[in-house]
Structure 1
Amino acid sequence: MDKVRELALKVLYKIDKEEAYSNIALNEIINANREKLTPKDIGLISEIIYGVTTWKLTLDVIIIKHSKIKMKKISTWVLNILRMGIYQILFLDKIPQSAAVNESVNLAKRYGHKSSANFVNAVLRKVSMVDYAELFKIENPIERISKTTSMPVWIIEELLKDKDYNINNVRKICGNLVQRPNITIRRNNLKINKEEFEKQLKERNINFTEIEENKEFYIVEKIKNIENLDMFQKGYFTVQDLSAGMSAYMLEPKENEYILDACSAPGGKTTYIAELMNNKGKILAWDLYEARTNLIKENAQRLGINIINTETNDATKYKAEYNEKFDKILLDVPCMGIGVIKRKPDIKWHRKPEDLKVISKVQYEILENCSKYVKKGGTIIYSTCSILEKENHGIIQKFLEKNPIYTTTEIKIEPTEKQDGFYIAKLIKK
């Protein structure tokens, strides 16, 4: 039996049964079997897990079409064997259909009942690209988008509540959220200049493209285990999407300012603020848990930054000692994460419509509370890696109605092939 597919199956089972996050479960199984796996093996395991997690809804639609057994009666093991097989047939051109079918049947013999192998064989031999093409003929536009982009209907419906989006915008957004994410890095200007940085990338045969909108950011290609790269360990760069960096950039931090990052772990935006300040001034970084504030310290140390102090704090709870203490505040609040689904496809299956009400309440409480900490004339950046109206403009609108002493600028970044979806509001206290 093919060891690679068996390991992939075990990860998918864990994701379904334990609601484990795919990246964590994947790393665990790779690390436990690293000595037995080639780079090619690791690539295929990652491809299958990421692909099946991304396309789960669409794969299940095709299973329902060809299966005589109802979905709820198919065991989790066999269901994931079918998903893996269909994903390979439809999306992995280099794997012959016969190989995908045969390996799936072998897995079914071990992880299913006596009849499971015949069942898997019968379903997979009926599958072809026609099954996927037919989904584009569905008349109902919301159902069509859902089944062709593997997006839950409730997310599509929430996107359509935004007055800036129509059905065509939403179709494009959902299509972009099944694309493979780029790896984007941010050069650390405290340690290395542009010319030397690019020279070192070339010396390591790393293909890169400078991002025009912000020349400290680069899209890099074909890097495995990027955090093992010597340039990373020396603190020459941070892995960060351009959209995520934009919230720190729009804060416009200056040398010698006192800045609060109230939801800071693991520290990507905090350290970018410090770099933009040329490591001069003071930053206070909060998070709920000490383990997460330790990540900020580790990142700061690697990058050669010494102006960040950390505290374990709840940003929804008022602390009188910080009243009007800060020049600027970054609030990159907890969110539904809809804008980063292509990086974290589990979000589609772990998040539920009822979560939106709970999380938007927390978001508003953080903004309302932390607004007390900024000086008059100071700036607050409120940002999320989500693209839902209720988490973004809805929060800001409610805040401004109660706090008319603020002016605001809002930026909505749709997910594209190049970057993640993001929302940023810049609030200035009069």
Structure 2
Amino acid sequence: MRLHRNLCFATVDGLLQIFNEGMYADKVVQQLLKRDKRWGSRDRGFVAETTYDIVRWKRLYAEIADVKEPFSRDDVWRMFAVWATLRGIKLPDWKYFEGTPLRKIKGRFDELSKVRKIKESIPDWMDELIVSELGEAVWNKEATALNEQADVILRTNTLKTTKEKLQTELFDLDIETESIKGYPDALKLKERANVFTTDAFQKGWFEVQDASSQLVAEFLEVKPGMKVVDTCAGAGGKTLHMAALMENKGQIIAMDIYENKLKELKRRAKRAGAHNIEFRVIDSTKPIKKLYDKADRVLIDAPCSGLGVLRRNPDAKWKLQPEFIEKIKKTQQDILVQYSRMVKPGGKLVYATCSILPSENENQVKAFLETNKEFTFIKEKKVLSHKSGFDGFYMALLERK
């Protein structure tokens, strides 16, 4: 591979924004990709993947390069040189790479790779917390899995097409996909591609949604004609999946505290042809109280640490703080108690997170059941990346007597 100056400059500019200005990696990459209209898909792919790669391995590369935050532009170029050297890419004769100690880089990598928190590029506090909850053996495997690049997974929108028709349409565009056993609506891309520019996407034939996330709507056992409440709907990946499983029959009430997310869901629902969704902003306790004892099914896709989705959000490793996790656990408890009251007798509830921490998952469910005796535990599913190959997730199904 030959390095191109303008692509490398764009990557370094983006990394400075992410590391020093606290900007979100996905937003920065979106902006970078619009920087030069002459860039082809390979150029854009280089910028996006290199940026995410260096964010993912920030601690390891900084230690090898012997630089500390806040990073100067020269520091980031040194980290870039580490990235390139470890991938066997020949450094061009640019001033930014003068005096790069190639042999020392490889030696430092071998030496530092003996320490998990540096090898897997994880903050000390996070490493200690997860070991205390999962144990060394499990965390060793999971830490490695969470540093792998996430696959692109599509969910077929069965309101508009079948998985087979979608697969054929994409194949005609030279986008090859494969089915995933145990995930009835999922297709995995064999190679990364920009699927958002396809006619199939514009027609609402699919959504991009990780395979683990696709398990949640089915876990809730929704059926056509039911009244279902999605309490933390966000931009609505799971809401739209439920609409498809319900064949547009019945009612889904999509709720969130953020109105802008519901507006995005409204736009996506229109494209998907999902007509049985109502949108309600949680701006006080009133919208919740109005639904007490009314719902056949309630989904609580709770706010969480997001430690199960670090493959797709690697910058979260550096933004998360231990205080936030303690705070979010309290929020999870409050939400479970308050929102569960919307379930009618005989109805069911799913509590889900994209975290791998038992303290955010089964421990929360256990504490809830101890003080809310009208609910019984039916089943749970724990998904770890090193076992599934997909995002870390948790879901528990409860029934109100």
User: If the length of structure 1 is used for normalisation, what is the TM-score?
Assistant: 0.88
Q: Which residue of 1 aligns with 2:48?
A: 46
- 2:383·2:393 contact (CA, 8 Å) conserved in 1? yes
CA positional deviation for 1:384? 0.7
1:366 to 335, 344, 347: 335
Gaps of 5+ in 1: 65-69, 107-119, 138-143
- Give the match for residue 13 of structure 1: 16
1:20-419 → structure 2 map (5 Å cutoff): 20-31=23-34, 33-64=35-66, 71=68, 75-90=71-86, 92-93=87-88, 95-96=89-90, 98-99=91-92, 102-103=93-94, 105-106=95-96, 121-137=98-114, 144-162=115-133, 165-313=134-282, 319-408=288-377, 409-416=379-386, 418-419=389-390
2-structure distance, mates of 1:320, 1:345:
38
Higher helix share: 1
For residues 298 and 5 of structure 1, the distance between their equivalents in structure 2, rounded to whole angstroms, comes to 36
Structure 1 residues 75 and 426, CA gap change in structure 2 (3 angstroms): closer
Q: Which amino acid aligns with 1:310?
A: F
Tell me the SS of whatever aligns to 1:186.
Answer: strand
Verify the 8 A CA contact 2:231 2:256 in the aligned structure 1. Answer: yes
**CA–CA distance in structure 1, aligned partners of residues 175 and 126 of structure 2:** 37
Instruction: Give yes or no for contact 2:227–2:295 (8 Å, CA) kept in 1.
Output: yes
Residues 282 and 179 of structure 1, relative CA distance in 2, 3 Å threshold? same
- Asked if the contact 2:252/2:277 (under 8 Å) is kept, the reply is yes
Query: Quick one: distance in 2 between partners of 1:189 and 1:38?
Result: 33
Q: How far is 1:75 from its partner?
A: 4.5
SS in 2 for 1:412: strand
CA contact (8 A) 1:279 1:305 kept: yes
Deviations 1:241-266, CA, capped at 9 Å, x for gaps:
11111111100100110000011021
Superposed displacement of residue 80, structure 1: 1.3
Change (3 A) 1:355 1:275: same
Question: Structure 1 40/194 Cα, relative in aligned 2: closer, same or farther at 3 Å?
Answer: closer
Distance 2:294 2:314 in 1: 39
| In structure 1, C-alpha distance between the alignment counterparts of 2:105 and 2:73, rounded to whole Å | 22
State the 1:86 CA deviation: 0.6
Query: CA 1:319 to 1:332, structure 2 compared with 1: closer, same or farther past 3 Å?
Result: closer
What residue identity is the alignment partner of 1:14? Q
**Conserved 8 A contact 2:254-2:278:** yes
What whole-Å deviation, never above 9, does each CA across 1:285-339 have from its counterpart, x for those lacking one? 0111221101111111111110001011158777322110100001111111110
More deviation, 148-157/342-351: 148-157
- CA RMSD, aligned part only? 1.9
Residues 262 and 173 of structure 1: CA distance in aligned 2, closer, same or farther (over 3 Å)? same
Distance in 2, Cα, partners of 1:392 & 1:30: 37
Name the CA shift for 1:124/1:44 in 2 (closer, same or farther; >3 Å). Answer: farther
CA–CA separation in structure 2 for the residues paired with 1:317 and 1:77? 51
Rate the CA distance shift 1:20–1:75 in 2: closer, same or farther, 3 A: closer
How far does residue 153 in structure 1 lie from its aligned partner after superposition?
2.4
Residue identity opposite 2:21 in structure 1? E
Residue of structure 2 aligned with 1:3, choices 3, 6, 14: 6
Alignment partners' CA distance in 1, 2:276 and 2:101: 58
Q: In 2, Cα distance between the equivalents of 1:341 and 1:193? A: 31
Q: How far apart, in 2, do the equivalents of 1:154 and 1:323 lie?
A: 40
| 1:7–1:328 Cα change, 3 Å | same
Cα distance in structure 2, aligned partners of 1:263 and 1:364: 14
- Are 1:315 and 1:369, in contact at CA under 8 Å, matched by a contact in 2? no
> How far apart, in 1, do the equivalents of 2:286 and 2:29 lie?
36
**One-letter amino acid of the structure 2 residue matched with residue 412 of structure 1:** K
User: 4+ residue stretches of structure 1 with deviation over 6 A?
Assistant: 315-318
- Does the CA-based 8 Å contact 1:243-1:422 persist in structure 2? yes
Normalising by structure 2, report the TM-score.
0.94
Q: Which whole-Å deviations, capped at 9, do the CAs of 1:72-129 have from their partners, x for residues lacking one?
A: 5x75222211111111111x33x21x32xx44x34xxxxxxxxxxxxx6335445433
Q: 1:75 to 1:185 in 2, by over 3 A?
A: closer
Do the aligned partners of 2:16 and 2:71 also contact (CA within 8 Å) in 1? Answer: no
Deviations for 1:357-414, whole angstroms, at most 9, x for unmatched residues? 1111111111110011100111111111111122112211211111122122221100
Q: Secondary structure at the match of 1:364?
A: helix
